[in-house]
Structure 1
Amino acid sequence: MTHYDVVINGGGLAGAVLALGLSQLERADGSTLRIALIERSAPDQNRHPGFDARSIALAGHSCELLQQLGLWSLLRDLATPITAIQVSDQGHFGQVNMQAQDYSVPALGNVIELAPVGQLLYQQLQQHPAIELFCPAQIATWQQAADQVMVTLDNDQRLTTSLLVAADGHHSRISRQLKLPRRQFDYQQSAIIANVQTAMPHQGRAFERFTPEGPIALLPMSGERCSLVWCVSNARAKQLMACDDSAFLTRLQQEFGYRLGRITRTGTRHCYPLVLDEVTRPWHHRVVLVGNAAHLLHPIAGQGFNLGLRDVAALVEQVRQALLDPSEAEHPVDLGSHQLLSRYGQSRQADQAALVGITSALALLFSNDHPVLAAGRNLGLMTMAACSSLKHSLAWQAMGKR
């Protein structure tokens, strides 16, 4: 039985970034933490659920956090900058345009593709001496004790740890077994995800277009492709997934318009149900939840991973501060202590509650055709376009800066 300071269950983006971030910390005597990362599959493009064909938009603040964690230099070359954002409402005149140059920043955010990022982070995990990678492996059983958590893997290996981190996604087994209080809501929508090609170059522009059934987002990618996130009712999603590529592109063109000319090609489509699933207090005795294991949001604002990254950065910071405690030299800090996890949890509650509230409100406001609501949101977009202070506020929010 081997003891680790931290055991992380889940080697997707949140878990990998957390492991690499923690690996850079040192104790008072100069030693590094012992970290174990458990992942059931290597980041193969066809198999790994955490690094599939999707792309994510990193807010500007998220890129700064990755820089602080020592990882942005690794990921920068895989990122496509967002230099402009256009927000519009189908069938109405309201429209907001934001340009990076208006805020003296090189980009409002960046788009990264999960598959190549997964390969790169996996290589870093394999090479780091402070991280032991258990892959392929899964947790078979785990048990909390007063001073540690005991973990048994499906290959009968046994580990103990001061802190167990659940970074194993929305269907986190650890989260379900703890039976923590949750807030859930079914939006009765699904998101269709695909990479598409357009006749006109995107030039770093991102688009979010609201329709009566939900938003359509096109994010700039490498190779002049765009990452599509199309939110529709569950019934419509079934119809669209059943279409051949030509019919699918025709329907997408009708909804999105010709801002990038003709949409000429689509890659493989994936469909995901959209729900709010929030663990309102995502920590327990010697266990903490991060990323989608703690909160799954509607993609309307594209902030799901950005929130998860702030979880990771906050946890790394709490551990760093604990290791800097002068008493740590004589009495090694307990990384799973109630005090440390309480400080972490309290530091994250306001941010999580605010973003959950904003995304839920936007999803309900911009995913219906009620004439009063439609008129109100159109007026709001026109007002924001005309009022520089409101538009600037939206831009800073998009960059993750409040």
Structure 2
Amino acid sequence: MSQSDVRQVDVTLVGGGMSGAVLALSLAALRKPDGSPLAILLLEASPPEQHTHSGFDARAIALSAGTCDALARRGLWPLFAPYCTPITDIHVSDRGHVGQTRLSAAEYDLAALGQVIELAAVGHELQRALAAAPHIRVICPATLHGVVLREEGVTLTLASGEQIDTRLLVAADGGNSFVRQQLRLPIRRLDYEQSAIIATVKTAVDPAGRAFERFTAAGPLALLPMQGGRCSLVWSVNRHEVEALMALDETAFLARLQQAFGWRLGRLERCGVRHVYPLILTACDYPLAQRTVLVGNAAHALHPIAGQGFNLGMRDLDLLTSALTGALAAGDDIGSFKVLNGYWQQRQDDQAQTVWLTSALAQLFANSDDPLVAGRNLALTLMARLPCLKAPLASRTLGFVTDLASRSALKG
């Protein structure tokens, strides 16, 4: 194959789920010094039908206020807004103990602490936007066969035999990232020995913007408000319990869930199809290689506690877009070590702290040792009474990685 047969592009993204789609659309707005757009290629292995696309599955996720702001800055919020349900209050409690605390949007002068969105719904919108973007080419299904790093670019070979030369490679291909494995980038891995049961639940009382994070002996249980008075359930349980819980009929399952959650939303009336996801931390401490950067779950797949997964990833995408914007304005090579390392120097503390926090919380609140139970309940009680102690939790939950204790309010 001659060099003239090799496709030349500026940016190639591997993975067309939430992270890959959002980043591709954000980068499509950038311009080179001569005013021309970036040539962007997106490679996605799964067919676009939503029921088979792992990036847009049955889950609903919470978008923090900071994530919503970032999407608005990138011009993407109109794709999300019609499918969002605002979170106005978050109630955090420890089952069987007195410790609890609350976060409210009013405390921080916000209309909402965040928004809940169903991945399947927004997936349709993002796919339509990608198809309509004139400077983004999507190849789907596309199976990546090989990755060769060179000083001047990255050469990708597809299973079809097609070759692509790209100035910058972005891996957004999930927790089992093919790119990360091909480049032998080391990861830390921690199996929580838990699985998350995901479902939509109808409650007698409309959640009306209230989200609940309840810590149980098996793990955290979250109910997030959705449109139509429904809730999205994320119930983390010990892996040996999953088979029995999934085998229960709807009535019996709801009875077990009611026992774990309580009656703050009245009787749990109905439950949709249940799905199970194993909970395993994977974190790449240095998600860079020659002209390559990992983002989203390819860089860090977190425990769902505190809903930080996509929100941490969105901060990756937002700052990477800003870094490339600055590089283009300065006439720098967007795939250079200078540009990518500059991006990483700004990201590494947030990533490390968020990975640590979610992992520590997951392990702390699944531990039934008396001293730890007493300590965490004291911490929840003090946070309820002393806003300065609640600030770090609020900062991470809202997606504004700042010192809230020094601010009277957060503005969007």
TM-score of the aligned structures, taking structure 2 as reference length: 0.94
CA contact (8 A) 1:45 1:53 kept: no
- The answer to whether 1:233 aligns with 2:230 is no
Cα shift at 1:50: 0.3
Aligned positions, number: 396
| Match 1:60 to one of 50, 62, 65 | 65
Separation in 2, partners of 1:199, 1:42: 38
Matched, 1:260 2:272: no
C-alpha deviation, 1:383, in angstroms: 1.1
After superposition, residues 41-56 of structure 1 pair within 5 angstroms as: 41-56=46-61
Task: State the partner residue of 1:17.
Answer: 22
Three-state SS of the structure 1 residue aligned to 2:211 is strand
Is contact 2:48–2:140 with CA below 8 Å preserved after alignment? no
Which has the larger displacement, 167-176 or 133-142?
133-142
Per the alignment, residue 275 of structure 1 pairs with: 280
User: Contact 1:42–1:122 (CA<8 Å) still a contact in 2?
Assistant: no
- Shift in Å, 1:379: 1.1
Per-residue deviation, 1:43:
3.8
Corresponding position of 1:353? 352
* Structure 2 residue identity aligned to 1:66: L
The answer as to 2:108 corresponding to 1:103 is: yes
Q: Tell me which of 202, 207, 217 is aligned to 1:202.
A: 207
Aligned pair partner of 1:5 in 4, 7, 10: 10
Contact map agreement 1:43 1:115 (CA 8 A) in 2: no
Please list, as runs of the form range in 1=range in 2, the aligned pairs for 1:64-103 lying within 5 A after superposition: 64-103=69-108
CA distance in 2 between partners of 1:183 and 1:368 (Å): 22
State the 1:225 CA deviation.
1.1
Q: Distance in 2 between matches of 1:388 and 1:334?
A: 45
Q: What's the counterpart of residue 3 of structure 2?
A: none
Compute the displacement of 1:73 (Å): 2.2
Counterpart amino acid of 1:88? S
Give the corresponding residue for 2:334.
335
Task: State how 1:376-387 maps to structure 2 within 5 Å.
Answer: 376-387=375-386
Contact kept in structure 1, 2:146 and 2:182, CA below 8 Å: no
Offset at 1:363?
0.9
* Matched position secondary structure for 2:55: coil
Tell me which of 297, 304, 322 is aligned to 1:299: 304
Q: What CA deviation, in whole Å up to 9, does each residue of 1:226-280 have, x standing for no partner? A: 1100011100112111222221111001000111111111111111111111011
- For 2:409, the equivalent position in structure 1 comes to none
The Cα shift of 1:392 comes to 4.5
What does residue 399 of structure 2 align with?
A: 400
- TM superposition shift of 1:41: 2.4
Give the CA deviation at 1:393.
4.4
The answer as to whether partners of 2:23 and 2:317 remain within 8 angstroms in 1 is yes
SS at match of 1:305: helix
SS at match of 1:50: helix
Determine which of 192, 197, 209 is the counterpart of 1:192.
197
Give % identity: 52
Aligned mates of 2:338, 2:239 — CA distance in 1: 44
In structure 2, relative to structure 1, the CA distance for the partners of 1:43 and 1:82 (3 Å cut) is farther
Corresponding position: 1:217 with 2:216: no
Q: Does 1:170 align with 2:170?
A: no
State how far apart, in whole Å, the 2-side matches of 1:397 and 1:141 are: 37
Equivalent position SS for 1:376: helix
Q: Which amino acid aligns with 1:346?
A: Q
Instruction: Give me the whole-angstrom Cα distance separating, in 2, the residues matched to 1:270 and 1:171.
Output: 19
1:243 to 244, 248, 258: 248
- Whether the 8 Å CA contact 1:84–1:206 is kept in 2: the answer is yes
Letter in 1 for 2:262: G
3-state SS, counterpart of residue 181 of structure 1:
coil
Structure 2 distance, partners of 1:219, 1:107, is: 13
Moved more, 7-16 or 267-276: 267-276
1:112 aligns with 2:112: no
Provide the secondary structure at the position in 1 that maps to 2:322: helix
Gaps of 5+ in 1: none
Deviation at 1:397, TM superposition (A): 2.9
Separation in structure 2 between the aligned mates of residue 200 and residue 279 of structure 1, nearest angstrom: 42
Amino acid at match of 1:72: W
Q: Distance in 2 between matches of 1:6 and 1:386?
A: 49
Displacement, 1:172?
Answer: 0.6
CA contact (8 A) 2:210 2:225 kept: yes
- The structural deviation recorded for 1:396 is 3.3
Larger mean Cα displacement after TM superposition, 335-344 or 280-289:
335-344
SS at match of 1:21: helix
Deviations 1:347-376, CA, capped at 9 Å, x for gaps:
211111110111111111101211111111
Partners of 1:186 and 1:274 within 8 A in 2: yes
Out of 29-38 and 133-142, give the one that drifted further.
133-142
Aligned to 1:290: 295
Q: Distance in 1 between matches of 2:199 and 2:24?
A: 29
Q: Equivalent residue for 1:154?
A: 159
Check the 8 A contact 1:43/1:118 in 2, yes or no.
no
